[in-house]
C-alpha cells in the first residue's frame, strides 16, 4: 500500500508542477494584457485632454491659467478607474490637481523630469495609501513644439491584482479537483488492476518456492496484462519443481551413503524418512529474528549468535516451532494474538513463538544465566554471582516457558523437543513430568566445568536434576561430557554406565554425548558475479575504514570477556615490538558487536576497556596515516563479514574459554581460494578438530605475536594445504549432520 501512495504522491507533485508553470504563464500573459489596455486608455485620455489644456497655457495669464486648468482637471477627474489628474509647468511646479491624489504621487517629480528631459511619455506603477496606482506622464507642447509642462494621469490599478488573484484561485480549485480525480483513478487502477495482481503473483511464487505446486498459474487469464509474465513464471516453476524433485530424490539416496556431505535437502529427507510427521520444537532464550522500530519503520533482522547461526539453519531445513523470548520493541506488533509469526521474514520456513517476559522476569532470569551460570561454566577466572532472588526468577521463567511449551504440545503426539543452552537447565524435568512421551534433548552451547568448579553453585543439585530430565544431554566436546559425568557422580545419586555414557535416575535414563556444532557449509561454490560482489563489498568497507595496508588481520567476536580481546591486542602489541618492519604494512580489524544489550553497564565497561587498550597501542605505534588496530563496536551483516573473511590474510581467535567458536569455521568456509591462516585458541572447542590452524595459548602474548608472524610469512602452498584439510573437515561435519545426529540420538533411532 505504501508504494501506491508513493506513486500517487509522485503523480500529484508532477501534475502540480506542470499546472504551476502553465498557470504562471497565463498570469504573466493576463498581467501584460491588462497593462497594455491601461496604457492605451491613459494615452487616449491624455491626447483628449491635451487638446483642451495646451491652448490654455499660451492664451491665459498665470492666475486665469490655474483657474481654467483646475476646471478642466475637475471635470475629467471623476471618470471610471481614474484616480486623478495633475498638471505641472515646465519647471515641475504643480499648477492644478484633482482631489484625492496621494501626496506620494504628486510630489514624485522624478518621472516628471524624465518626461520633460526625454520629451517622451513615461509610465510606472506606484503603491500609495495601500493601493496600486498606474501613473502616466505626458509632456505638453505649444504650437512651436516647446515644452510647456506635463500632464499626469493616475489610474487605479488594483483591479489587475484582483484579476490575477482570481485566476490563481480558479486554477487552484480546478487543480485540486483534478488531483482528487487523478488520485482516485490511479488508486483504483494500481490497487485493483496492478497491485492486487502483483500480490497474487508474489504469493503464488512464494508458495512454489516453499515447496507448493504451481496450480495458481494454470489460469493465466486472470492476470490480464500480467498474463505474459504469468506464463513465463509457469514455465520457470515447472522447471523449479522438477529440479526440486530431483534434488529430493538425490538427497534420499544419499541417506544410505555415509561418505556424502550433508545438505539442507538431505536433512529434510532424513526428517521425512525417520521422523515421519513428528513435530520438532526448539526452545531458546534468544529469538532468531527480532523486530525493531528504526526511524518510524519496523525492521526485521537476525539476532547474531553462534546458537542462532546453527539452529536457524536446521529449522529452515526441518520446519517446526521455535519458542523464545520476544525482546524487540516491535515484536508484539509483528506477531499474532498468540505471539506467533512465520520466519525468516522474506522466506518463511518455520514458526516463531514468542514468550513475553516482564522486565522483572527478564532481568532476574537473565542475571542468573549470565552472572551465575555462564561464568560458572567458563575457565576465565570470573567469579560467578549467586543471588537468591535471581535464582527464584530463573526457576519462575523456566516454569513459564514450560507452560508455554506444554500448551503447544497439547494435541501433538510424540513431540521432539530440542532445548538450547544454560538458560533452561530446569526445563527438561518440567516437561518430562507432564509429558513423559516427549523426546527431550538439551544442548549445552558453553563448556561444562570440572566437578570442583561446579560445586560452588548453591543450587547445583536442582540444576543437575533438571538437566537429567532430558533423554539426551549434548555437549560440543567429549571433555565436557566427561566433566558432566564426573559432576553427576559427585552430586546426584544415580547409576552411571561409563560404557554407554548414560545416567539412570528414578527409572529414567539420560545419555550424555558430544555433538560438535558447526555451520551450514556444503560445497562453498560461488558464481563469478557473487565473487565480484563480495570482493567489491569488502573493498568498500576497507575504503570506508581507511585501511590501505598490504596485510589485513581480522577478529570477529561479541563484546564478551570470554573472547579474550584485551589479550589479543596485547599479542598484536608484542608482534609490532618484535617485528617493527610491519609497521604501516599490517592492520588488524577487530569487530566486537554488542550482545548483552539489556545490561548496558556490562557492555560499556568492557567496550571502554578494549577501546582504551586499542587507543594505547595505536598511540604507541600508529602514524597520521595508519593505525595498527581498527576497532568497530557495531554489528556487521553476514554478507559484510563474509566479504572481509575472504580478503583477510589471517583470522585471530583468542578465546579464554569457548565451547566451540563458529567464527573459526565461518572464516574457513569463506575461503573458496583455500588461502588465509586461522590462528586459534587452544581453549576453543574448535581446536579439537581444526588442528591445521595455528594453535595458541591466548594468555601468552609472545605466542600470539609469533603466530601472527608465521601467518604472514607462510607460503601459499602451505596455506593451501592447511586450509583444504580444514575445509574438508567442516564440509564433512556441518550443521546439518550435527542436527541429524542430535535428533537421531534424542529419538533413540539407531
| Torsion angle of the four alpha carbons 486, 487, 492, 493, in this order, in degrees rounded to the nearest 10 | 10
Closest CA to 156 of 88, 102, 109, 92: 102
Residues 6+ apart with CB under 8 A from 731: 261, 521, 522, 523, 524
Which class is 2-163 in CATH?
alpha beta
CA 729/CA 534 separation, integer angstroms: 24
Neighbouring C-alpha atoms within 13 Å toward the C-beta of 676: 28
**Predicted local confidence at residue 649, as pLDDT:** 98
350-355 vs 340-343, strand pairing mode = antiparallel
Three-state secondary structure of 622-634:
CCCCCCCEEEECC
Closest CA to 561 of 664, 698, 451: 698
**Predicted local confidence at residue 448, as pLDDT:** 97
CATH number of 528-733: 3.40.50.2000
738 phi-psi bin (left φ>0, alpha ψ -120 to 50, beta other): alpha
**Predicted local confidence at residue 231, as pLDDT:** 65
650-653 vs 677-681, strand pairing mode = parallel
SS3 179: helix
CA 26/CA 388 separation, integer angstroms: 83
**Predicted local confidence at residue 459, as pLDDT:** 98
- H helices of 378-435, in order, are 388-408, 427-434
Number of neighbouring beta carbons within 10 Å of residue 437: 10
Helix or strand holding residue 586 (H, E): strand 586-593
Backbone Cα Rg of the chain: 43
CATH 3.30.450.20 range(s) for the chain read 2-163
Residues 6+ apart with CB under 8 A from 520: 264, 309, 310, 313, 734, 735, 736
Q: Kindly report, residue by residue over 164-193, the tens digit of the pLDDT.
A: 888 888 888 888 888 888 788 877 877 777
**Predicted local confidence at residue 750, as pLDDT:** 44
Neighbouring C-alpha atoms within 13 Å toward the C-beta of 326: 20
Neighbouring C-alpha atoms within 13 Å toward the C-beta of 503: 26
Q: What cell was used for 718?
A: 602451505
Question: Which CATH number is 265-356+413-521's, of 3.40.50.720, 3.40.640.10, 3.65.10.10, 3.40.50.2000?
Answer: 3.40.50.2000
CA 473/CA 470 separation, integer angstroms: 6
Q: What cell was used for 156?
A: 487605479
- Per run of 10 residues, the mean pLDDT along the chain (length 750 residues) is 74 84 86 85 83 72 70 70 82 82 80 86 83 87 83 85 86 86 81 72 67 53 61 65 56 58 84 84 94 89 82 88 94 95 90 96 94 93 94 98 96 94 98 96 96 97 98 97 97 96 95 95 76 91 96 95 96 98 97 71 87 97 96 92 96 97 96 96 96 98 98 98 96 92 82
Closest CA to 567 of 429, 701, 747: 701
How many residues does this entry show for the chain? 750
Q: Burial of 229 by CB count in 10 Å (0-12 exposed, 13-18 middle, 19+ buried)?
A: middle
CA 141/CA 139 separation, integer angstroms: 7
* Helix (H), strand (E) counts: the chain: 25, 23
Q: Where are the beta strands (DSSP E) in 289-363?
A: 289-294, 297-302, 321-325, 340-343, 350-355
**Predicted local confidence at residue 192, as pLDDT:** 72
φ and ψ at residue 295, rounded to 5 degrees = 55, 50
CATH 3.40.50.2000 range(s) for the chain read 265-356+413-521, 528-733
> Which sign, positive or negative, has the C-alpha torsion 206, 207, 208, 214?
negative
Amino acid at each position: 500500500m505504501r508504494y501506491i501512495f508513493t506513486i500517487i504522491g509522485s503523480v500529484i507533485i508532477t501534475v502540480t508542477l506542470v499546472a504551476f508553470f502553465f498557470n504562471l504563464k497565463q498570469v504573466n500573459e493576463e498581467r501584460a494584457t491588462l497593462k497594455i489596455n491601461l496604457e492605451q486608455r491613459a494615452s487616449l485620455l491624455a491626447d483628449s485632454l491635451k487638446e483642451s489644456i495646451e491652448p490654455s497655457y499660451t492664451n491665459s495669464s498665470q492666475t486665469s491659467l490655474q483657474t481654467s486648468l483646475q476646471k478642466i482637471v475637475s471635470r475629467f477627474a471623476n471618470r471610471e478607474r481614474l484616480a486623478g489628474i495633475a498638471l505641472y509647468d515646465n519647471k515641475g511646479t504643480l499648477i492644478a490637481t484633482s482631489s484625492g491624489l496621494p501626496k506620494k504621487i504628486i510630489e514624485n517629480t522624478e518621472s516628471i523630469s524624465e518626461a520633460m528631459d526625454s520629451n517622451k511619455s513615461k509610465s510606472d506603477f506606484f503603491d500609495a495609501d495601500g493601493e496600486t496606482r498606474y501613473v502616466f506622464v505626458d509632456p505638453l507642447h505649444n504650437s512651436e513644439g516647446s515644452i510647456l509642462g506635463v500632464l499626469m494621469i493616475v489610474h487605479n490599478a488594483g483591479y489587475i491584482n484582483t484579476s490575477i488573484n482570481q485566476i490563481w484561485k480558479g486554477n487552484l480549485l480546478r487543480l485540486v479537483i483534478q488531483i482528487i480525480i487523478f488520485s482516485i483513478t490511479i488508486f483504483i487502477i494500481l490497487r485493483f488492476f496492478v497491485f492486487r495482481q502483483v500480490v497474487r503473483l508474489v504469493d503464488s511464487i512464494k508458495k512454489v518456492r516453499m515447496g507448493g505446486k504451481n496450480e495458481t498459474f494454470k489460469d493465466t487469464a486472470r492476470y490480464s496484462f500480467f498474463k505474459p509474465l504469468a506464463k513465463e513464471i509457469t514455465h520457470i516453476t515447472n522447471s523449479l519443481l522438477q529440479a526440486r524433485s530431483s534434488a529430493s530424490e538425490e538427497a534420499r539416496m544419499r541417506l544410505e551413503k555415509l561418505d556424502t556431505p550433508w545438505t539442507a535437502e538431505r536433512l529434510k529427507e532424513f526428517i521425512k524418512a525417520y521422523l515421519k510427521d513428528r513435530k520438532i520444537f526448539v526452545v531458546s532464550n534468544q529469538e532468531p529474528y527480532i523486530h525493531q522500530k528504526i526511524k518510524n519503520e519496523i525492521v526485521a533482522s537476525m539476532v547474531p549468535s553462534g546458537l542462532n547461526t546453527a539452529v536457524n539453519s536446521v529449522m529452515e531445513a526441518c520446519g517446526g516451532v521455535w519458542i523464545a523470548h520476544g525482546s524487540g520493541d516491535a515484536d508484539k506488533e509483528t506477531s499474532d494474538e498468540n505471539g506467533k509469526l512465520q520466519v525468516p521474514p522474506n522466506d518463511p520456513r518455520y514458526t516463531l513463538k514468542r514468550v513475553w517476559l516482564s522486565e522483572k522476569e527478564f532481568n532476574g532470569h537473565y542475571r542468573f544465566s549470565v552472572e551465575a551460570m555462564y561464568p560458572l561454566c567458563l575457565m576465565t577466572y570470573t567469579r560467578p554471582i549467586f543471588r537468591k532472588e535471581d535464582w527464584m526468577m530463573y526457576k519462575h521463567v523456566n516454569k513459564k516457558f514450560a507452560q508455554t511449551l506444554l500448551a503447544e504440545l497439547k494435541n501433538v503426539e510424540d513431540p521432539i523437543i530440542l532445548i538450547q543452552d544454560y538458560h533452561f537447565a530446569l526445563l527438561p524435568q518440567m516437561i518430562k513430568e507432564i509429558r513423559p512421551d516427549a523426546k527431550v534433548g538439551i544442548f549445552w552451547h558453553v563448556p561444562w566445568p570440572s566437578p570442583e568448579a561446579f560445586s560452588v553453585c548453591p543450587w547445583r543439585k536442582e540444576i543437575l536434576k533438571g538437566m537429567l530430565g532430558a533423554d539426551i544431554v549434548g555437549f560440543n566436546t567429549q571433555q565436557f561430557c566427561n566433566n558432566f559425568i564426573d559432576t553427576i557422580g559427585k552430586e546426584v545419586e544415580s547409576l552411571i554406565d561409563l560404557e554407554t555414557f548414560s545416567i539412570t535416575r528414578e527409572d529414567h535414563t539420560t545419555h550424555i554425548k558430544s555433538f560438535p556444532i558447526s555451520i551450514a557449509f556444503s560445497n562453498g561454490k560461488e558464481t563469478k558475479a557473487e565473487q565480484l560482489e563480495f570482493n567489491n563489498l569488502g573493498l568498500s568497507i576497507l575504503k570506508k575504514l581507511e585501511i590501505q595496508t598490504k596485510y589485513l588481520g581480522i577478529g570477529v567476536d561479541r563484546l564478551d570477556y570470554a573472547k579474550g580481546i584485551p589479550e589479543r591486542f596485547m599479542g598484536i602489541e608484542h608482534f609490532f615490538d618484535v617485528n617493527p618492519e610491519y609497521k604501516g604494512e599490517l592492520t588488524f580489524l577487530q569487530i566486537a558487536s554488542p550482545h548483552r544489550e539489556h545490561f548496558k553497564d556490562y557492555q560499556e565497561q568492557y567496550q571502554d576497556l578494549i577501546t582504551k587498550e586499542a587507543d594505547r597501542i595505536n598511540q604507541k605505534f600508529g602514524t597520521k596515516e595508519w593505525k595498527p588496530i581498527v576497532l568497530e563496536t557495531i554489528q556487521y551483516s553476514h554478507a559484510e563479514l563474509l566479504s572481509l573473511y575472504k580478503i583477510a590474510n589471517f583470522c585471530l581467535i583468542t578465546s579464554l574459554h569457548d565451547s566451540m567458536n563458529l567464527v573459526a569455521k565461518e572464516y574457513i568456509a569463506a575461503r573458496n581460494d583455500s588461502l588465509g591462516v586461522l590462528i586459534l585458541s587452544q581453549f576453543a572447542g574448535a581446536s579439537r578438530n581444526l588442528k591445521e590452524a595455528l594453535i595458541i595459548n591466548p594468555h601468552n602474548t609472545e605466542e600470539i605475536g609469533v603466530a601472527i608472524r608465521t601467518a604472514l610469512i607462510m607460503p601459499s602452498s602451505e596455506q593451501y594445504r592447511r586450509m583444504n584439510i580444514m575445509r574438508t573437515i567442516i564440509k564433512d561435519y556441518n550443521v546439518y549432520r550435527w542436527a541429524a545426529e542430535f535428533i537421531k540420538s534424542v529419538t533413540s533411532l539407531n
